[in-house]
């Protein structure tokens, strides 16, 4: 056997092997693309096997068999074009030309009984070469649109097609060449054919190891991105970053739906506008994949899910690749990739989508753990705050109790040892004062506790805020200050009179407490756009800017407040804020140290809940 024969045998074996592998691929995953691939290599394989069998067994040439083989060979470029048509839109004109070329070549071959005159042969060869070149260009364009394994495979297929075209061209030109050169191209043709066979093998039946190697760079770049994702501020941001990452890795558009067990739906934030925000049980393919937990490829999205056909058309979605996102037993959601062209090697893309979905699951699970840790921290913080609250409350309650217990015991002892002594008025007054102080602290505490349970605000009724405020301002307690209430007309809304009264009282009390005697406290009540506005302004000590953000928090007292002079638990404004907010209103303060403060309250006039 000569070297040329060896090359030829090798080339033929590779083509037959490819045929076997693609038929196996078709059996495993019957799709139009796989049929077309199998047909193409089937034509080549039959031609090769027939020739081999005939020459090996030295069978006489059966005309009908050799005619069929010849027609199969002539049909090869046309079959290749059919394959190209599966994933890119071949213009009708090209299709018609290819069909015409096929018919003419077959007719020419049959009419001339095997010995084709050189000009016709040249025409057939040019037809072959033109179609091969067209297909190669289309494969290259498809490769440009893809990534990873698909891209590499398409590049190999394009190379195989170009090499095959070149081999045919060289072989076809041989008879037209002048004699001294005629012997030369035979080896060249064989080499081109072998190279083409190898390229096709790599393209159509790449071994697993190659697929993995091709997948790696894409996966690696995705993983690099993914590593930092769980730390993003919230889950929607993470999902959108995952969508972008998966999309660019796949060379397609991707969207992720997260399972919401409460509504039993997948929640999508589809930036491409194809899927609705909620996908529930039903015809949705994403839901189907989510339920079966098996990744699926839908070559024709519109046919697979007719209800969304128009959306698919509008957004140029041709095929779908959908994989479930799940971690261990936990079903988290689904990753859906839209492609505007049918992917040629859908099984490889499906593999990649599956891998990306797994990565997405890892990222989402990490996020869930981070969230869980934050929840635990928040719970601990809440428990700590509660402890702080209890010990601060206990401390504040024990202070008046200390005087009460000691004073009462002291009076008791005196009554026993000196029964005739006059009543200790100062001691008794101290008991009354401390008992009142204790009682108001207890009420404050109870209010704060009811507020947290949402039970503080009770029945509402029409209340005139102006009248309510005037009642508060008339109290004897404020005699050392001038309290002016300015209002043009009654301002009536539906409120719990006792609690709103408590707010007004607290604000006036604070204004009085923190401003010098004889100074003026101004209250203005107005209404505008369905809201009541209450402003309480004092010329007191003011609130330092650093305290302003926390002034409405539990137990917060201004840092310039002397605890001893201004008794209280620091719950007053916390309770006011709660009451106002439960009425659907808002409260805030403007203040300047040394100048005074203005507390603003806005309450809705109607229909607040």
Partner 1 sequence: MVDDDPSIVAVVSEILVAEGHEVVSAENGAEALAKVNGEALVLLDMRMPVLDGWGFARQFRASGKRAPIVVMTAAENARRWAEEIGADGYLAKPFDIDALIAAVERHTTRKH
Q: Nearer Cβ to partner 1, position 402 or 439? A: 402
- Cα distance between residue 80 and residue 346, in whole Å: 18
CB 370 within 8 A of CB 229: no
- Cα distance between residue 388 and residue 390, in whole Å: 5
Residue 410 touching partner 1 (CB under 8 A): yes
* Candidate ranges 178-186, 202-210, 372-380, 404-412; the one touching partner 1 (CB under 8 A): 404-412
Q: How many positions of this chain bind partner 1 (CB under 8 A)?
A: 24
Residue 423 touching partner 1 (CB under 8 A): no
* Candidate ranges 78-86, 283-291, 353-361, 394-402; the one touching partner 1 (CB under 8 A): 394-402
Q: Residue 418: CB partners within 8 Å, gap ≥ 6?
A: none
The number of helices, as runs of H, and strands, as runs of E, in the chain is 18, 13
CB 443 within 8 A of CB 467: no
* Candidate ranges 94-102, 285-293, 369-377, 428-436; the one touching partner 1 (CB under 8 A): 428-436
Q: Nearer Cβ to partner 1, position 58 or 565? A: 565
Residue 439 touching partner 1 (CB under 8 A): no
Q: Nearer Cβ to partner 1, position 58 or 564? A: 564
Among 51, 264, 314, 391, binds partner 1 (CB under 8 A): 391
Among 215, 407, 537, 597, binds partner 1 (CB under 8 A): 407
Residue 485 structure tokens? 């209430």
Residue 529 touching partner 1 (CB under 8 A): no
Q: How far is the CB of 446 from partner 1 (least distance, A)?
A: 20
Q: How far is the CB of 516 from partner 1 (least distance, A)?
A: 20
Among 85, 434, 444, 547, binds partner 1 (CB under 8 A): 434
Residue 585 structure tokens? 């209103």
Among 232, 401, 435, 492, binds partner 1 (CB under 8 A): 401
Q: Computed over its alpha carbons, how large is the radius of gyration of the chain?
A: 44
Residue 430 touching partner 1 (CB under 8 A): yes
Among 403, 449, 519, 526, binds partner 1 (CB under 8 A): 403
Please provide the DSSP assignment of 107-154 as one string: HHHHHTTT---HHHHHHHHHHHHHHHHHHHHHHHHHHHH--HHHHHHH
- Cα distance between residue 196 and residue 473, in whole Å: 99
- Cα distance between residue 510 and residue 573, in whole Å: 9
DSSP 8-state code for residue 276: -
Among candidate residues 508, 485, 503, the one with its CA nearest the CA of residue 552 = 503
Among 263, 293, 330, 402, binds partner 1 (CB under 8 A): 402
Convert residues 549-578 into a mask of x (bound to partner 1 by CB under 8 A) and - (unbound). Answer: -------------xxx--------------
Distance of CA 282 to the CA centre of its chain: 22
Among 29, 96, 413, 455, binds partner 1 (CB under 8 A): 413
Residue 398 touching partner 1 (CB under 8 A): yes
What letters, b where the CB count within 10 A reaches 16 and e where it falls short, cover 448-481? Answer: beebeeeebbeebeebbbbbbbbebbeeeebeeb
Q: How far is the CB of 406 from partner 1 (least distance, A)?
A: 5
Chain residues binding partner 1 by CB under 8 A are 391, 394-396, 398-407, 409-410, 413, 427, 430, 433-434, 562-564
């Amino acid at each position: 056997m000569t070297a040329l024969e060896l090359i030829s045998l090798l080339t033929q074996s590779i083509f037959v092997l490819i045929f076997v592998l693609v038929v196996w691929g078709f059996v495993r995953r019957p799709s139009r693309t796989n049929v077309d691939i199998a047909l193409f290599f089937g034509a080549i394989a039959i031609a090769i096997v027939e020739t081999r069998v005939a020459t090996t067994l030295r069978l006489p040439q059966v005309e009908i068999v050799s005619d069929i083989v010849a027609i199969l060979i002539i049909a090869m470029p046309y079959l290749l074009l059919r394959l190209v048509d599966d994933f890119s839109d071949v213009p009708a004109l090209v299709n018609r030309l290819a069909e015409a070329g096929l018919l003419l070549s077959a007719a020419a071959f049959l009419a001339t009984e095997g010995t084709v005159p050189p000009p016709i042969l040249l025409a057939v060869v040019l037809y072959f070469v033109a179609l091969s070149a067209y297909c190669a260009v289309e494969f290259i364009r498809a490769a440009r649109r893809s990534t990873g394994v698909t891209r590499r495979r398409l590049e190999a297929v394009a190379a195989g097609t170009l090499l095959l075209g070149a081999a045919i061209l060289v072989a076809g030109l041989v008879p037209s060449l002048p004699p001294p050169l005629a012997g030369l191209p035979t080896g060249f043709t064989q080499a081109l054919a072998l190279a083409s066979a190898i390229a096709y093998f790599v393209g159509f039946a790449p071994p697993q190891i190659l697929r993995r190697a091709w997948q790696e760079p894409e996966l690696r770049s995705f993983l690099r991105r993914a590593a930092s994702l769980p730390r993003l501020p919230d889950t929607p941001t993470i999902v959108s970053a995952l969508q972008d990452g998966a999309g660019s890795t796949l060379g397609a558009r991707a969207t992720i739906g997260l399972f919401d067990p409460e509504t039993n739906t997948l929640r999508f934030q589809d930036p491409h506008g194809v899927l609705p925000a909620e996908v529930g049980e039903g015809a949705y393919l994403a839901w189907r994949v989510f339920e079966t937990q098996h990744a699926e490829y839908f070559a024709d999205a519109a046919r697979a899910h007719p209800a969304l056909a128009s959306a698919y058309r509008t957004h140029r979605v041709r095929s779908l690749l959908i994989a479930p996102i799940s971690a261990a037993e936990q079903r988290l959601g689904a990753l859906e990739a839209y492609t505007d062209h049918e992917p040629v090697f859908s099984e490889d893309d499906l593999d990649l989508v599956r891998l990306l979905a797994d990565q997405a699951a890892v990222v989402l699970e990490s996020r869930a753990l981070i969230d869980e840790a934050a929840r635990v921290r928040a719970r601990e913080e809440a428990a700590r705050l509660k402890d702080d609250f209890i010990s601060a409350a206990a401390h504040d309650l024990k202070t008046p109790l200390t005087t009460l217990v000691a004073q009462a015991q002291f009076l008791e002892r005196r009554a026993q040892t000196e029964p005739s002594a006059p009543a200790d008025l100062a001691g008794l007054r101290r008991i009354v004062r401390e008992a009142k102080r204790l009682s108001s602290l207890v009420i404050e505490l109870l209010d704060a506790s009811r507020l947290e349970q949402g039970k503080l605000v009770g029945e509402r009724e029409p209340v005139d805020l102006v009248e309510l405020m005037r009642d508060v301002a008339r109290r004897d307690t404020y005699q050392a200050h001038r309290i002016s209430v300015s209002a043009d007309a009654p301002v009536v809304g539906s409120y719990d009179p006792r609690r709103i009264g408590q707010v007004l009282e607290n604000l006036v009390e604070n204004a009085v407490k923190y401003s010098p005697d004889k100074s003026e406290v101004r209250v203005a009540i107005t209404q505008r756009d369905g809201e009541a506005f209450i402003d309480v302004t004092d010329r007191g000590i003011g609130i330092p800017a650093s305290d302003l953000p926390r002034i409405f928090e539990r137990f917060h007292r201004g840092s310039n407040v002397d605890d001893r002079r201004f008794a209280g638990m620091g719950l007053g404004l916390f309770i006011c804020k709660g009451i106002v907010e439960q009425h659907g209103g808002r409260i805030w303060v403007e203040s300047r140290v040394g100048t005074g403060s203005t507390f603003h309250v806005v309450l809705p006039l109607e229909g607040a809940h």
